[in-house]
Amino acid sequence: MVLIVVTDPTRFRGRGEMGGTAHDFQISPSSWNRFEECPRKYWLSRQRLPRKASMAASMGTAIHNSVEDLCNLDFSGREDEEIGWLHSSCRETLQKRWEEERTLFSETPRHPRWKDESFSVALDGLIGAISILFDKAMLPLEELSSVTVKTWKQVQDIVVETEANLESKCGRLMGRLDLLIKDLEDEANGGLIVADLKTGKPPEDELSEKVSRQLLFYRDIMKENVTEDQDLRAEGWYSSNNTVYRAEGPPILEEAIGAWEMMKLTETPFQATPSEDACSFCEWKAWCPRWWEAKYEGELSQEGMFRDEVVRLVRLDQESGAALFERTTPVGGDGELRGSDHRFGALLKGKSLEKIRQMDQPELDGYLFLGSIMFGGKTARMGDWSEILPWSPLLRSVRN
C-alpha cells in the first residue's frame, strides 16, 4: 500500500479538478524551459498570439491519453483469464484519442496538414509505453494477444495516479504528471516513480537539460506530498525505443521560484537570446525581430535545406503558385526592414498556396514571414509544411 500524504488537498489533484491560487500566475516546467531557452520566446508565448499545432505534439497527446485510458480500464464483469483483448483495446482507444486530437489540431489557427499515415507510428509508441509498464510491474510481455485481464490488472495495480495536476506548497509552480507508479524495486520503503512519457526522439546518451529539469521539477513537487521516508525517483520513458532514463540531481524548487520571479510579464518584451537550438522550432518568429537580425549578422546559420525568410512579395501567379520574393535586410533590432538585391523564386502548393491566396492586398504589399521554405533544387518549394504570416514584430505587450 503506497501512502501519499497530501498536506493540502488542493495541491495534488486528480484529473479534471480545478483549483484557485493565491498568485496571479504559475509556471510549469515547459514555460520555465521556454524562458531558459530564450526569455523573449516565453514572453511572446504569453501574448495570446495565434497558436501553432504540430503533428508531433498531437501524436504525443493521443498516446498519453490512451495510456491513461488503458491504465483506468474497468474490467468489472470480465473473466480474469480472457485474452485477445489488449491489442484491439490499444487500437480502439488510440483511434478515439486520435480523432479528438485531429479535431483540436484542425481548430488551431495555425496548423500544417494532419498526417493520418502517422497512426501506425503512434500505435507503436503506445505499445512501447505499455511494454515499459510491464517491465515496471516486473511482468514479462510476450504477445499483446496473450495478455490476460488478470495480468493487466497487475499492471494497473502499480499505477498510483495518471495525469495528475501538481502544485507546489507556495502555489507558484504547477505541472501535470503523466504517471505516478509504485517502485517495485523499493517496495519496502513505499518507493514511488514519477514518470514522464516521451514520444519524441530518445537522447543519444543522457537526458537533455530541459527534460531533466522537468522531471526534477515534478519529483520535487511530489516530495512535498509524500512522507519523508518515501523514496521518489524521476524517470523519462521513451516509448520509441522502450528505454527508461533516470533524472538525478539536487533539489530544484528554489531555482524554479527564482525563475518565477524573473518571469513576471512586463509591458516591453523580455530579452531575446537567439541560438540555433532556441530559434529552429520557435513558433513566434513572425513576431520576433531579433532572430532575423541575428541571421543577417551571421550569429545564426543561413544554410540548411529548410529555411525561414522575411521577404517582400515581388510577383505571384495565383493560378500556378509560382512566386518571386525579395529577401529583406533588417535595420536594427526592432523589426524595421529595407529591400535587398537578393531575389528567389518559389513554387507554392497545398496549404501555402491556399494561405497566400487568402491574404488581402495590404498584407501582400507588406513584409512577409515565410517559414520552412525547402531549398535544394532550382526553385524553392513551399507546401503543406510551410507557413506564411504577415511580418509583425511585437514591441509592446498586447495583454491588458
Binding site for ligand SF4 (CB under 6 A): 38, 40-41, 44, 272, 274, 278-279, 282, 284-285, 288, 290-291
Whose Cβ is closer to ligand SF4: residue 191's or residue 269's? 269
To which residue does cell 525561414 refer? 308
Angle at 100 between CA 106 and CA 373, to 5 degrees: 35
Q: What is the DSSP letter of 342?
A: -
Q: 185 — phi, psi (to 5°)?
A: -75, -15
Compute the least distance from the CB of residue 148 to ligand SF4, in Å.
50
Residue among 88, 84, 83, 90 at smallest CA distance from 65 = 90
Tell me the residue type at 200.
G
Considering the complex, what minimum distance in angstroms separates the CB of residue 239 from ligand SF4?
28
Q: Between 95 and 280, whose beta carbon lies closer to ligand SF4?
A: 280
CA distances from 391 to 40, 213, 288, 355, 388 (A): 17, 34, 9, 14, 9
Q: Tell the smallest beta-carbon distance from residue 296 to ligand SF4 (Å).
A: 13
Cβ proximity to ligand SF4: between 63 and 278 the closer is 278
Cβ-based nearer residue to ligand SF4, 333 or 339: 333
Minimum distance of ligand SF4 from residue 291's CB (angstroms): 4
- Looking at the DSSP bridge assignments, the partners of residue 387 are 371
Closest CB to ligand SF4 among residues 136, 213: 213
Shortest spacing between CB 40 and ligand SF4, in angstroms = 4
Cβ proximity to ligand SF4, 30 vs 148, nearer residue: 30
What is the C-alpha separation between 160 and 124, in angstroms, rounded? 24
How far apart are CB 287 and ligand SF4 at their closest, in Å? Answer: 8
* DSSP class of 110: B
d(CA 36, CA 210): 9
